[in-house]
C-alpha cells in the first residue's frame, strides 16, 4: 500500500488548529471512505509511513490511534492496523464525503448528457471478449506473422515515420487502398478521397458529427449495427428503423418522402442477418437517396468473404455523383487490434472530414499505416484474403451441419453464404436470448443476443455466433454446450 501521495502542511503544523497527526488522520479517513483503501487491508507500519512522509513515527502512531478510536481501523497485537469491515460513516457515498453531491457538480454538455444516458442503457463491459464464437473476430492463426514481422523490421528505423504526418492518412496506404477498392469493389475513387480513421467506429462518429444535427431523422436497417445506432443517438438524431428482408434492408418499406438526413446500411452482407442486396435494389436505393437528398452511409464491413459468388459492386461505385459515404476497416481482414479503418468521401467534403479528424483524434499511427501499405502493395493482403476465404467457407459449412444436427427444433440458422458469423433464431420466441448468452459465456464461449441489434420493441430472440475464430473442436464443443443452455427449465 503506497500512501506517499498524502500531502501534509508541515511548515505550519498548528495552522487552523490542525496538527500533523490530525492532517494525517483526515487524509487517511478520506481514503478509507472513498474506498481507496479496501476493507481488511493492512496500513503500512508506522516506521515505514513516517519515513515515506518525512514525519515522526509518533505522529503516525497518533493518527492511527485516532482512526482506531473512531472505528475506521482495528488493531491486532503484533500485526498492525487494518481497515475495519464496518465503517462508522459507511453510509456516505464518495461524492458526499468530498463535500459535493452529484447534483452540485457543473453539468455536462448536451452531447455529454446524451452519452451518459446511452451508457446507462447499454449493458457493456470495459473490455471485449476474445472467446470462441465472439462476433467479429478473425482467425488469428491464419495471420501471416512472419511476413508481418519482416515488414515491421523494415520500417522500425525509418525516422520519417517517427514524427508528425498528414491527418488524412499515409499517402502510400491511401493509394494502395484506392487501387484495391477500384479492382475488388467496382469503385472509381482516387486516393485523395480516402480518409484513414482509427477503425470503423471512428468513421461512424465522424459521419455523425458532420452530417447530423440534433433532432435530425436517420433511417437504419433493423436489426442493425449497434455502434452506428449509438453514434447517431449521441448526436441527438431520431432513428427510424427499416425492417430487413431476405436480401437486407427492405427497399419497399422506405418512406416515399420525408426529411431524412442519412440512411445507414450494410448492403453487401446485412449485419447481423446476412442478406445481400441485389444490384437492382441498390440502384433503387441510390435513386431514392437522390430524390430525398439523403446521405447513404455504406458499411462494407466484410465484403471480402462471399463463398459461392462474387460480391456485388459497392453502391459508392455504381453511379457518379451519388450521396454515398463508403466505410471499411481492417478489423476483419487483418486484426482488430490495428484500429485502422477508412472512409471514401465525395471530393468536396474531404477537407472538412480531415479537419474533423484532426480536431477529434489527431493522426492515425503512421508506423502501422506504412506496414499495412506494404502488406497490400506486395500482394500479401490478397493472398491472406484468399486463404481466409477458403478457411471461413469450410467453417461456415461445418456450422450449418452442426446446427442442423444438434439444434433442429431449438434454433434455426439464417443461412447466408457469406461473412464470419451466423445468426440463429429461437424456435421458441419466449426464450430470453440475453440470458442464454450469459449462460453460454459462463462456459467460456462468446455470443451476441440477436435482440440487442433491434431498436424498436418488435425484437427477434436468438444468438449471433462468430465462427471465424474457432477450431473444429471448439465448434463441436460449443454447439454441444449451447444445447443445454436452451433448456427453459435450466434458465428459470
Same domain, 358 and 247: yes
Do the Cβ atoms of 413 and 423 come closer than 8 Å?
yes
Flag whether 1 is in a domain. no
CATH code: domain of residue 98: 1.10.10.10
Flag whether 7 is in a domain. no
Of the candidates 296, 295, 294, 250, which has an alpha carbon nearest to the alpha carbon of residue 270?
250
Flag whether 4 is in a domain. no
Flag whether 192 is in a domain. yes
- Cell digits for 220? 437504419
Same domain, 273 and 295: yes
Flag whether 10 is in a domain. no
Same domain, 374 and 406: no
The DSSP symbol for 15 reads G
The pair phi, psi for residue 218, each rounded to 5°, is: -130, 135
Same domain, 391 and 348: no
Same domain, 340 and 231: yes
Same domain, 175 and 318: yes
Last residue of a domain, one of 382, 415, 435: 382
Same domain, 366 and 451: no
- Cell digits for 129? 471478449
Same domain, 84 and 50: yes
Of the candidates 275, 300, 301, which has an alpha carbon nearest to the alpha carbon of residue 223?
275
pLDDT at 490: 46
Flag whether 197 is in a domain. yes
| Cα torsion 68, 71, 72, 77: sign | positive
Domain tally for the chain?
Answer: 3
pLDDT at 94: 47
pLDDT digit string (tens) for the chain, length 492 residues = 678 777 777 654 444 446 888 888 888 888 888 888 888 888 988 888 888 888 888 898 889 888 888 888 888 877 889 888 877 754 444 444 455 565 667 888 888 888 877 776 665 544 567 899 999 899 999 999 999 999 999 988 888 888 888 899 999 999 999 999 999 999 999 999 999 999 999 999 999 999 999 999 999 999 999 999 999 999 999 999 999 888 889 999 999 888 999 999 999 888 999 888 899 999 999 999 999 999 999 999 878 888 877 778 899 888 777 899 999 999 999 999 999 999 999 999 999 999 999 998 999 999 999 999 999 999 999 999 999 999 999 999 999 999 999 999 999 988 676 789 999 999 998 899 999 999 999 999 999 999 999 988 889 999 999 999 999 999 999 999 999 998 865 454
pLDDT at 192: 96
Flag whether 242 is in a domain. yes
**Kind plus residue range of the DSSP H or E element containing 18:** none
Same domain, 270 and 149: yes
pLDDT at 308: 75
Same domain, 253 and 285: yes
The DSSP symbol for 427 reads S
- Per the structure, the complete domain to which residue 450 belongs is given by 385-491
Last residue of a domain, one of 382, 405, 420: 382
Torsion of CA 144, 150, 154, 160, to 10 degrees: 30
Non-local (6+) Cβ contacts of 467 within 8 A are: 133, 392, 395, 396, 398, 399, 420, 421, 422, 475
pLDDT at 152: 93
Same domain, 184 and 153: yes
Local structure of 242: helix, strand or coil: strand
**Could you give the C-alpha distances from 59 to 53, 74, 223, in angstroms and in order?**
11, 18, 64
Same domain, 192 and 275: yes
Flag whether 173 is in a domain. yes
Distance CA 373, CA 369 (A): 6
pLDDT at 106: 84
CATH code: domain of residue 188: 3.40.640.10
Last residue of a domain, one of 382, 409, 444: 382
pLDDT at 410: 92
CATH code: domain of residue 431: 3.90.1150.10
Q: What is the reported pTM?
A: 0.77
Amino acid at each position: 500500500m503506497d500512501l506517499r501521495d498524502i500531502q501534509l502542511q508541515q511548515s505550519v503544523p498548528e495552522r487552523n488548529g490542525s496538527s500533523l497527526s490530525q492532517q494525517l488522520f483526515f487524509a487517511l479517513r478520506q481514503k478509507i471512505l472513498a474506498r481507496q483503501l479496501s476493507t481488511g487491508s493492512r496500513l503500512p507500519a508506522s516506521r515505514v509511513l513516517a519515513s515515506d512522509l518525512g514525519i515522526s513515527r509518533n505522529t503516525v502512531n497518533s493518527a492511527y490511534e485516532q482512526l482506531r478510536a473512531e472505528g475506521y481501523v482495528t488493531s491486532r497485537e503484533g500485526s498492525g492496523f487494518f481497515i475495519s469491515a464496518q465503517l462508522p460513516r459507511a453510509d456516505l457515498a464518495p461524492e458526499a464525503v468530498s463535500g459535493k453531491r452529484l447534483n452540485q457538480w457543473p453539468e455536462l454538455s448536451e452531447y455529454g448528457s446524451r452519452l451518459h444516458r446511452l451508457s446507462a442503457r447499454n449493458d457493456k463491459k470495459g473490455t471485449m471478449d476474445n472467446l470462441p464464437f465472439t462476433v467479429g473476430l478473425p482467425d488469428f492463426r491464419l495471420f501471416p506473422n512472419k511476413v508481418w514481422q519482416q515488414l515491421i523490421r523494415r520500417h522500425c528505423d525509418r525516422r520519417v515515420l517517427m514524427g508528425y504526418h498528414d491527418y488524412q492518412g499515409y499517402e502510400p496506404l491511401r493509394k494502395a487502398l484506392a487501387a484495391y477498392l477500384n479492382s475488388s469493389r467496382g469503385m472509381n475513387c482516387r486516393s485523395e478521397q480516402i480518409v484513414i480513421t482509427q477503425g470503423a467506429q471512428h468513421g461512424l462518429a465522424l459521419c455523425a458529427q458532420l452530417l447530423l444535427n440534433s433532432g435530425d431523422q436517420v433511417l437504419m436497417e433493423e436489426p442493425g449495427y449497434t455502434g452506428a445506432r449509438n453514434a447517431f443517438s449521441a448526436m441527438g438524431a431520431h432513428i427510424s428503423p427499416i425492417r430487413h428482408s431476405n436480401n437486407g434492408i427492405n427497399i419497399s418499406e422506405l418512406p416515399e418522402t420525408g426529411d431524412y438526413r442519412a440512411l445507414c446500411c450494410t448492403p453487401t452482407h446485412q449485419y447481423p442477418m446476412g442478406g445481400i442486396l441485389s444490384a437492382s435494389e441498390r440502384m433503387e436505393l441510390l435513386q431514392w437517396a437522390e430524390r430525398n437528398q439523403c446521405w447513404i452511409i455504406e458499411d462494407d464491413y466484410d465484403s471480402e468473404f462471399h463463398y459461392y459468388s462474387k460480391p456485388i459492386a459497392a453502391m459508392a461505385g455504381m453511379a457518379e455523383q451519388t450521396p454515398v459515404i463508403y466505410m471499411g476497416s481492417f478489423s476483419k481482414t487483418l486484426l482488430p487490434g490495428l484500429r485502422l479503418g477508412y472512409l471514401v468521401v465525395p471530393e468536396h467534403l474531404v477537407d472538412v472530414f480531415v479537419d474533423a479528424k484532426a480536431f477529434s483524434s489527431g493522426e492515425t499511427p503512421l508506423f502501422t499505416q506504412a506496414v499495412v501499405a506494404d502488406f497490400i502493395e506486395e500482394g500479401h493482403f490478397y493472398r491472406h484474403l484468399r486463404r481466409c476465404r477458403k478457411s471461413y467457407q469450410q467453417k461456415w459449412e461445418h456450422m450449418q451441419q452442426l446446427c442442423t444436427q444438434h439444434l433442429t427444433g431449438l434454433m434455426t440458422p439464417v443461412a447466408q453464404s457469406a461473412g464470419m458469423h451466423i445468426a440463429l433464431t429461437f424456435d421458441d420466441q419466449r426464450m430470453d436470448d440475453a440470458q442464454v448468452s450469459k449462460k453460454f459465456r459462463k462456459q467460456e464461449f462468446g455470443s451476441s443476443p440477436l435482440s440487442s441489434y433491434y431498436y424498436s420493441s418488435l425484437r427477434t430472440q436468438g444468438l449471433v455466433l462468430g465462427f471465424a475464430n474457432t477450431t473444429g473442436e471448439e465448434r463441436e464443443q460449443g454447439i454441444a454446450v449451447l444445447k443445454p443452455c436452451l433448456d427453459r427449465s435450466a434458465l428459470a
